[in-house]
Structure 1
């Protein structure tokens, strides 16, 4: 009499890493989807046109279906274009957690948190390296400052004690409105300035020690003639990678090189430039590291622009 061989015991399959991606816009950024996949997420699901009031229900749907062990392999990413709304959505997701059903959440609307973090961290690094100075107390002008990256960079720089001016080509009223919004939300002091005319742009540049260009891609906000009025300039940093240069003379690959043909008022070495690819390299590493931290940290984390800035500082320090 023959007996059938025993079947080997099947091991339960490992649960996949799932990332739920919320955005208030009609589509999720392909850039962020790629970054999530490269960081090891296996199932990536975008949810578009998400309103802040929907976040709590979506979050609880994500956490209760997998059990306490499954939530460790689940994450939420918040994208979109509105930096204030993304911050609200991050808060809403955090409040919706019911420990031990709790997952990591990372907000980076339009890449603004990680891009601004890279921008400010690199400026901080080069300011110390080239001049032995800190960002605190420096006069910072943010051109295109009413956009997503400009707003976050303003909050970061002001939190370090910089004297921040948020500039708008739309005029003083627009600049002042955005400055007031940022000041109220983050409890920091900034001021709005108009750069609606060449004369206003040159007046603003004449006072600045640090210039951030965070305007739309492919838009030059500072010409060579404008830059000649920047008498006190130490560093000019530009996030625009699409020709023409956002700041004339600041090439996309610049990473602390002097700006050709420009000298500051003290007669010291020419001001230095930081270009978009240098900033983008740090931004990429920061976003990748934060996605990895979500997936491998072992406990839930909530990642907004303060955490992005801490990571950017670590990346920038490692460039020496």
Structure 2
């Protein structure tokens, strides 16, 4: 009789995400077991309890999902989990805190798709400005874009020091070069939009961060992507259903939250399935793996 498949859901947050639980069931896991308020120092013990409690054949039917809200904590937990494995007692691990990794991956995959379709090139060499840069989705999109050859800047809405610190942290951790800029008023946002190729809106729900007036007439702006589905949208003129729709008064194309969300859902589903099916060679999945999966899902 085949062993049941078990997903151990580890999160530093107070509660496990119902979204992640539903996704895991829909991907085919038989059992999902949450572990909440987990500290980094506890991850090794949890992982080794999981892997040593089953035979090598049973371990093949286990996986670990890492949730939470902080992308650095999730990445640290992912690496700690990887180091805790003792082959042949080893399981696959997928980190996606607050869905940020798969959302960012979907956002960048859609941006790349419309760059190729409308401007004949990918992210390489493009100027990318990230609004809402201190949140997990904004941070992940910045790192993905930089890893794939874009010139990236984090836009400060309040204190420049906030994004300066984030940029320094990402640069050190991921071996990239992300910059930062002041976007704390309308005039500064307009200046940014008049010289950037891509505007990414990853601010909190219900907050409009850029307007049509600020985008109007930009000689460089090509794509504006927004993950905010709560009115008003983060980018004026970009409907939640927009999937490469021309933005009035500009030469740019808009990508809305629901177009991104469809790819995010598919990406998370495919990564969970990948763990479930990786019975021999185990996988360790972060936002870069999510980006490759998202890209492949829309080719």
Provide TM-score, normalisation by structure 2. 0.97
CA–CA separation in structure 2 for the residues paired with 1:15 and 1:282: 31
Q: CA contact under 8 A between 1:175 and 1:194: conserved in structure 2? A: no
1:280 to 2:261 alignment: yes
1:305 to 278, 287, 295: 287
Are the aligned partners of 1:241 and 1:277 in contact in 2 as well (CA < 8 Å)?
A: yes
Give the Å deviation of 1:230.
3.7
SS at 2:107 equivalent = helix
Is 1:293 paired with 2:293?
no
| Cα offsets for 1:267-305 (capped at 9, x unmatched) | xxx311111111111111010000001001222111111
**SS in structure 1 at match of 2:68:** coil
Matches within 5 A, 1:160-171: 160-171=148-159
Counterparts of 1:202-217 in structure 2, within 5 Å, are: 202-217=190-205
Answer whether contact 1:172 1:194 (CA < 8 A) is retained: yes
1:262 and 2:249 matched: yes
What is the CA distance between 1:231 and its match in structure 2?
A: 3.7
Bigger Cα Rg: 1
How far is 1:16 from its partner?
A: 1.3
- Poorly superposed stretches of 4+, deviation over 3 Å: none
Q: CA deviation at 1:226?
A: 2.2
Q: CA deviation at 1:229?
A: 6.2
State the alpha-carbon separation in 2 of the partners of residues 160 and 199 from structure 1.
30
Q: Which moved more, 1:286-295 or 1:231-240?
A: 231-240
- Match for residue 316 of structure 1? 298
Task: Give the match for residue 223 of structure 2.
Answer: 235
Partner of 2:7: helix, strand, or coil? strand
* Number of equivalenced pairs: 298
Q: For residues 176-229 of structure 1, what are the alpha-carbon distances to aligned partners after superposition, in whole Å with 9 as ceiling and x for unaligned?
A: 111111111101011111222222222222221100001111111112222226
CA-to-partner distance for each residue in 1:104-123, whole Å, 9 max, x for gaps? 10000111111111111111
Aligned positions of 1:19-58 closer than 5 A: 19-58=7-46
Give the superposition deviation at 1:170: 2.2
Alignment of 1:1-320 (within 5 A): 13-228=1-216, 230-259=218-247, 261-263=248-250, 270-299=251-280, 300-317=282-299
Partner of 1:3: none
CA contact (8 A) 2:92 2:278 kept: no
In 1: Cα distance, 2:81 partner to 2:23 partner: 21
- 1: CA distance between counterparts of 2:19 and 2:158? 29
Q: Deviations over 1:76-130 (max 9, x none)?
A: 0000111011011000000000011101100001111111111111111110111
Q: What value does the CA root-mean-square deviation take over the aligned residues?
A: 1.1
Secondary structure at 2:193's aligned position in 1?
A: helix
Q: Is the 8 A contact 1:252 1:274 kept in 2?
A: yes
Equivalent residue of 1:117, what SS? helix
Distance 2:219 2:68 in 1: 38
- Normalization by structure 1: what TM-score? 0.91
Task: State which drifts further: 298-307 or 248-257.
Answer: 298-307
Describe the SS at the equivalent of 1:207: coil
